């Protein structure tokens, strides 16, 4: 093996992250247009957070920027495809029946293997329930996006340099 090949292999090994480790983020709108059935609620919220597939920890926060007309009486993460109602997967903490808005400070949950599979497939959604619409007033599908690991950008740069070297 040439000295250049050894140097490249050493550089790749020093910056590469394990292929099985990934982090995800999400930042999704929660509104009545996504509810099943769709409703005309003007309430609006955002669910944001991260997921680490090594620790299986989902961190989620929710900020409701436009309040509901009546008291929020429950909130959950459900499992189903967009437009389909599904069962409660993760109950979200209250307090409930005290406000027309639901806000959740960053909260962590450890997902099971099945929950992880559904989350990464985009099959989890947040549902905020109110006194007026107990089946759910606003809903938002969680759409995880993979975050490139710290070794990805140096590897891309290295590949570009190698391609330029071959051209010369």
Q: Is residue 73 within 8 Å of residue 52, measured between CB atoms?
A: no
Q: Which fold has domain 20-148?
A: Immunoglobulin-like (2.60.40)
**pLDDT tens-digit profile of 62-110?**
999 999 999 999 999 999 999 999 999 999 999 999 999 999 999 999 9
Strands 23-31 and 145-147: antiparallel
Domain locations in the chain?
Answer: 20-148
Looking at the chain, how many residues does it have? 168
SS3 2: coil
Which tens digit of pLDDT belongs to each residue from 42-71?
999 999 999 999 999 999 999 999 999 999
**pLDDT tens-digit series, residues 110-148:** 999 999 999 999 999 999 999 999 999 999 999 999 998
Q: Both tokens of residue 92? A: 């979200």
| pLDDT at site 129 | 98
Name the residue among 79, 83, 78 with its Cα closest to residue 127: 78
Assign 46 to helix, strand or coil. strand
Task: Return the ∠ at Cα 27 (arms to 25 and 29), rounded to 5°.
Answer: 155
């Amino acid at each position: 093996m040439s000295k250049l090949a050894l140097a490249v292999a050493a550089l790749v090994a020093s910056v590469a992250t394990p292929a099985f480790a990934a982090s995800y983020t999400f930042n999704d709108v929660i509104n009545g247009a996504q509810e099943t059935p769709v409703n005309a609620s003007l309430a609006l919220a955002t669910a944001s957070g991260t997921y680490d597939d090594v620790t299986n920890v989902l961190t989620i926060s929710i900020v409701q920027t436009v309040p509901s007309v009546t008291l929020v009486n429950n909130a959950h993460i459900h499992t189903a495809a967009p437009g389909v109602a599904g069962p409660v997967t993760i109950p979200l903490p209250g307090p409930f029946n005290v406000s027309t808005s639901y806000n959740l400070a960053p909260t962590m949950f450890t997902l099971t293997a099945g929950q992880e599979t559904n989350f990464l497939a985009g099959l989890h959604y947040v549902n905020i329930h109110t006194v007026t619409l107990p089946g759910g007033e606003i809903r938002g599908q969680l759409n995880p996006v993979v975050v490139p690991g710290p070794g990805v950008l140096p590897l891309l740069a290295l590949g570009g340099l190698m391609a330029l070297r071959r051209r010369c």
